[in-house]
Structure 1
Amino acid sequence: MGLDLYAKIEPFLDFEEEVYTLHKEFLRFVMTNDLDNIIDIGCGQGYFLENLKVNKKKYFGIDLSVEQIKVCQAKGLNAQAIALKDVKEKFDCATAIFDVLNYIPKEELKTFLKEIYFVLNKEAYFIFDVNSYFGFDEIAQGCITIDVEDKFIAIDANFEDEKLQTDITLFEKHENGLFSKEQDSIIQEYHSKEFLTKVLEETGFELIEIKEFNLHTDEIADKLIFICKK
């Protein structure tokens, strides 16, 4: 699904400020509620895991991208490239940060939430964010080109029929002077507040709060943060 290719280009996307801002919000919740024993689902290159580690929290990260997990493990982080259904341990909190649930198709979302429910202890928290419709329609779609060092990156994102398709092209120059080309796509789906509320309740989660969050703009909230409890 393009996740390994995304892992290659992520360091060049200049999202450090957004990463810091959103992770700070999640970490505030963890620290305020004195939570420990946390699983970060879709942990990427482990930025949030590093925050948990610094704050001496027990943590475990999972991601389907082998390339992302290689970066985590190179940092000495406790993370594995395994599917959620293969996790055997139980946790007191689960996080899914930077629109992880938007990568899950609507017809698979209930199964995914059941898998999260299964790995949580009784009264454990589940906190996640998703893109709002405004976030997809006004913020996420568009074109970006990056020309840096020995790489040229082109990203084209188009939002249509409540799905965002992001096409990624990477040209890399090698020592022999020749370029290699990689292309792949990532699909994300818009999930409405009403749909998520319904599926969460059907799965057994108690929805405690939905917070509007402005990550990329001060206009309209481009993200929603859901706080749930088992």
Structure 2
Amino acid sequence: MGLNLYSKIEPFLDFYDEVYTLHNEFMSIVFNKDLDNVLDVGCGQGFFVESLNLNQKKAFGIDLSSEQIEACYHRGVENVACIDLKDVKEKYDCVTAIFDVINYIQKDGLKEFFENVYNSLNDNGYFIFDVNTLYGFEDIAQGCITMDFDDKFIAIDAIYEDEKLITDLTLFIKEEDESFKKEKDFITQYYHSKDRLKKMLKKAGFKVEELRDFSLHSDEKADKQIYICKK
């Protein structure tokens, strides 16, 4: 899946306001629950890990994209690693998965992922994550975007069908000889219903303490839901 290519395109998508808003919501939960020692799964460029540290919270981030981890290091965020959740050895008081991380997991992979989260938590630890609603997929995420710069051209085309959002990514970068190098890949996100998630979480041993509707991209309906789960 094209996570490394997406990491090159992401800085040009102007999602900073949305990221800031969602991170603030997660930060408020961390503080209200008085949590520390947080593992951020799918940490991306490390903004939430950085925010936790600035607020005197211990945090560590992991991501499957080596490009994202390199972006973290470039920004000065060192407490991150390019490793799979199943390879994490330390125990944490809280695990977070922010901005669609769960939607990148196929339906038949949810059980194993939730079990790995459970095994990464101390007793009475919290697992906090968000997912896209059906409205978020059908009405917000679909569509085409093109961006033309002097030294690069970006094209993004997202289509939702059969409970999957497939996003085609194309990046042209100008070389020194004025020719353009093309990179092309795709990412797939999966819609997970509330019933499916609750069932998988219960099987893994979690209790869903709270389920919040959250409007990130629209004032009409909730395009996200935030799950607050306890081990």
Give the TM interval when normalised to the shorter protein: over 0.9
Task: Write the distance in 1 (CA, Å) between the matches of 2:126 and 2:118.
Answer: 10
Secondary structure of 1:22's partner? helix
Are 1:49 and 1:77, in contact at CA under 8 Å, matched by a contact in 2?
no
Per-residue deviation, residues 80-99 of structure 1 (Å, max 9, x unmatched): 00000100000000000001
Q: CA deviation at 1:193?
A: 0.6
1:60 paired to 2:60: yes
| TM-score (ref. length: structure 1) | 0.99
Distance 1:76 1:99 in 2: 21
Partner of 1:125: 126
Cα shift at 1:176: 1.2
Partner of 2:105: 104
In structure 2, stretches of 5+ residues that fail to align are none
**C-alpha displacement of 1:175:** 1.5
State the shift of 1:56 in Å: 1.4
Query: By how many angstroms is 1:77 displaced?
Result: 2.8
CA drift of 1:148 comes to 2.0
For 1:66-145, list aligned pairs within 5 A: 66-74=66-74, 75-145=76-146
Q: Distance in 2 between matches of 1:68 and 1:91?
A: 22
Distance in 2, matches of 1:64 and 1:76, equals 16
- Percent identity at matched positions? 61
Give TM-score scaled by structure 2 length: 0.98
Question: Cα RMSD between the aligned structures?
Answer: 0.7
User: Would the aligned equivalents of 2:46 and 2:77 in 1 still touch at CA under 8 Å?
Assistant: no
Which blocks of at least 5 consecutive residues in structure 1 are unaligned? none
Q: What secondary structure sits across from 1:218 in the alignment? A: coil
**Runs (4+) off by over 4 Å:** none
Residue 149 of structure 1 deviates from its aligned partner by 3.2
Separation in 2 of the partners of 1:8 and 1:76?
18
Separation in 2 of the partners of 1:221 and 1:76? 32
Is the 8 Å Cα contact of residues 166 and 187 (structure 1) preserved in structure 2? Answer: yes
